[in-house]
Amino acid sequence: MKILISADMEGATGVTWPADCEPGTEQWQRCRGMFTSDVNAAIGGLFEGGATEVLVNEAHSTMRNLLLEELDERATMITGRHKELSMVEGVQAGDVDGIVFLGYHCGAGEDGVLAHTYLPNAITGVWLDGQPASEGYLNAAVVAEYGTPVILVTGDDRACEDAESYAPFARTVAVKDHVSRYAARCRPPARTAADIREAAEKAMLLAGRLEPASPAEKAMEIEVDSAQLAQAAAMVPGVTRTGTRRVRYTSPDAYEMIRAFKAVCTLISSSMENNYG
Residue 120 backbone phi and psi in degrees, to 5: -65, -25
pTM value is: 0.97
Share of the chain above pLDDT 90, in %: 98
For the cut 90, the answer to whether the pLDDT of residue 192 exceeds it is yes
pLDDT range class, residue 224, cuts 50, 70, 90: very high
Average pLDDT over residues 16-35: 97
Average pLDDT over residues 43-63: 98
For the cut 80, the answer to whether the pLDDT of residue 275 exceeds it is no
pLDDT range class, residue 206, cuts 50, 70, 90: very high
> What pLDDT was estimated at residue 274?
83
> What pLDDT was estimated at residue 277?
78
Rounded-to-integer distance, Cα 249 and Cα 257, Å: 9
What does the mean pLDDT of the chain come to? 97
Average pLDDT over residues 94-108: 98
Contacts of 196 (CB under 8 A, 6+ apart): 38, 41, 42, 45, 102, 154, 173, 175
